[in-house]
């Protein structure tokens, strides 16, 4: 199971990102643990200065703006 964190204040782009990740995981049949992180200190601990940020299994894979559908699908296909 992949642990995916969406880092951000809960803004519209953060919600869009979280929803797109959940949808892509469902379509790919990938089990994920999706967590929304809104704590500024925790977000900063990942070195993310621009949100939304995406962390998969402890690694920052995206920050700033909504990731495109192709990129999100690629995250679901990456091996655990």
Which residues, in sequence order, are CB contacts of 42 under 8 Å at separation 6+?
7
Task: Give catalytic residue positions.
Answer: 11, 14
- CA 14 remoteness from chain centre: 9
pTM confidence score: 0.94
Tally of structural domains, the chain: 1
Are residues 3 and 32 in contact, defined by beta-carbon separation less than 8 angstroms? yes
Domain range for 26: 2-77
Q: How far is it, in rounded angstroms, from Cα 46 to Cα 23? A: 25
**15-71 confidence digits (pLDDT tens):** 999 999 999 999 999 999 999 999 999 999 999 999 999 999 999 999 999 999 999
């Amino acid at each position: 199971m992949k642990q995916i964190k969406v880092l951000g204040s809960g803004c519209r782009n953060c919600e869009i990102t979280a929803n797109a990740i959940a949808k892509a995981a469902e379509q790919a049949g990938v089990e994920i643990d999706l967590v929304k992180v809104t704590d500024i200190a925790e977000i900063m601990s990942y070195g993310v200065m621009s949100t939304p940020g995406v962390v998969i299994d402890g690694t920052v894979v995206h920050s700033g703006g909504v990731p495109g559908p192709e990129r999100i699908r690629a995250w679901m296909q990456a091996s655990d």
